[in-house]
Amino acid sequence: HFLEHKLFEEETGSAFDRFAEWGASANAFTSYAQTSYLFSTIDHWGESLAHLIGFVSHPYLTAENVEKEKGIIEQELRMYEDHPYHRLYSNLLRNLYHENPVRLDIGGTVESIYKITVAELLTCYHTFYQPPNMALAVVGDVDSEETLRIIADNFPGQSQNSTFAIERFYPKEPQEVVDSWSEEELSVSRPHYLLGFKHEPRWEGAALLKQQIIMSLIWGMLVGRSSQVYADLYGADLVDDSLGAAFNSGPCFAYSVIGSETDAPEKLHEELKKIIERLQKTEVSPTDLERLKRQLYGKHLASYDSFEYAANRFISHHFSGTPFYDFIPLLQSVTVSDIGEALNELLDYDNSTVAILRPVTGNG
């Protein structure tokens, strides 16, 4: 995350300024699995691509600019401390994981960032920013041969750089959760509820993509706006349009979350448990499964309307090793028994946790 910030700084100024001159919009983000740099533009395409490759390939790090960045990142970290969803999600991950680094904030802590040195940043850069550990996705009406020429021209000497296999070491993670329930007060107008299920990270490749699809179908049953479950929970004033769910996986971790803002978190928890246990005992009908598949198929096709989303997805699937182009055949292959197996194995309340944010006492 620190490197993400620093790579936009060049000896001649900010990389953002050059993009702005060409009318391009640039950004970057760091997740638990990768750091991505991106831009979108309708003009000066070649210059923008060359610039992106250039500043990512040539770090400009000095003791002075690294020290200055620490104050900027500190402000960012403190801002997120007061962000309800970020705080809630962080609490949930700490409830789920004993040792896995996913329990730690991606940006670090105020104390840890002030210990970072130029030497450490360069070691990190030269370890991970090597061609075998990088990928580039281009989405749009561009000439492929011209794009390849720009890439080749702007990676001077990269192919000759010495590269080495990156070894990653992860601590052994117990199967059980750390805490089954946690609550915290924050300046929010109403309570925030988040339920998490800890999974054994046993999927990879096509099996991982299929599991992601299966869980998306299950979320359609539970939180889809056309589902009876959503209608019942909404009608009982237990959820609002913030209700959502996700299945997440990464290096040596996998978990599912369901959450919403609600005035009655305990009641919502009870109702969700009843609903999930009922679904676990009742086989989904082939007709309902087909309807869910068609909904997901439609969302999948519609997602290509966003070039940025498509590019990000290509990159994330590349690094996770999931065969993205097999999405549709894998969706078609999902069976009723696949849904039942996932419901019963993954939504296991014996390996779950709840995180709640409540309004500060006396604030309503």
Q: Assign 3-class secondary structure to 174-220.
A: CCCCCCCEEEEEECCCCCEEEEEEEECCCCCHHHHHHHHHHHHHHHH
- For position 157, what pLDDT does the model report? 62
- For position 230, what pLDDT does the model report? 97
Check whether residue 79 and residue 187 sit in a common domain.
no
Look at residues 160, 191, 222 and tell me which one is the last residue of a structural domain.
160
- For position 251, what pLDDT does the model report? 82
Token readout for 247 is 């299945």
- For position 7, what pLDDT does the model report? 96
Check whether residue 87 and residue 208 sit in a common domain.
no
Look at residues 130, 160, 190 and tell me which one is the last residue of a structural domain.
160
Q: How far lies 148's CA from each of 118, 143, 316, in Å?
A: 33, 9, 21
> Which amino acid, 54?
G
Cβ(185)–Cβ(363) below 8 Å: no
Cβ(182)–Cβ(345) below 8 Å: no
- Burial (CB count within 10 angstroms: exposed 0-12, middle 13-18, buried 19+), residue 153: exposed
Look at residues 96, 128, 160 and tell me which one is the last residue of a structural domain.
160
Check whether residue 190 and residue 312 sit in a common domain.
yes
Total tally of structural domains belonging to the chain: 2
- 169 falls within a domain: no
- 26 falls within a domain: yes
- For position 165, what pLDDT does the model report? 86
Check whether residue 186 and residue 287 sit in a common domain.
yes
The label of the residue with tokens 């991982």 reads 208
Phi, psi of 248 (to 5 degrees): -125, 140
- 72 falls within a domain: yes
Check whether residue 221 and residue 271 sit in a common domain.
yes
Check whether residue 109 and residue 239 sit in a common domain.
no
Dihedral sign for Cα 310, 212, 318, 16, please.
positive
- 175 falls within a domain: no
Check whether residue 125 and residue 39 sit in a common domain.
yes
- For position 161, what pLDDT does the model report? 52
Check whether residue 239 and residue 154 sit in a common domain.
no
Token readout for 187 is 């300046």
Check whether residue 267 and residue 211 sit in a common domain.
yes
Token readout for 50 is 């060359």
CATH assignment of the domain containing 330: 3.30.830.10
pTM tops 0.75, yes or no: yes
Spell out, as residue ranges, where the chain has pLDDT lower than 50. Answer: 159-160, 364
- 216 falls within a domain: yes
- 364 falls within a domain: no
- What is the Cα–Cα distance from 15 to 38, expressed in whole angstroms? 12
- What is the Cα–Cα distance from 354 to 91, expressed in whole angstroms? 9
- 172 falls within a domain: no
Active site residues: 4
Cβ(182)–Cβ(357) below 8 Å: no
CA angle 132, 134, 136 (to 5 degrees): 130
Check whether residue 137 and residue 212 sit in a common domain.
no
CA angle 336, 341, 343 (to 5 degrees): 95
Cross-strand partners of 71: none
Domain that holds residue 217: 181-359
List the beta strands (DSSP E) in the chain.
Answer: 9-10, 13-14, 25-30, 35-40, 181-186, 192-199, 244-250, 253-261, 352-359
Check whether residue 119 and residue 194 sit in a common domain.
no
- For position 232, what pLDDT does the model report? 97
- 176 falls within a domain: no
272 C-beta neighbours (distance < 10 Å), count: 23
Check whether residue 143 and residue 207 sit in a common domain.
no
CA angle 240, 242, 247 (to 5 degrees): 130
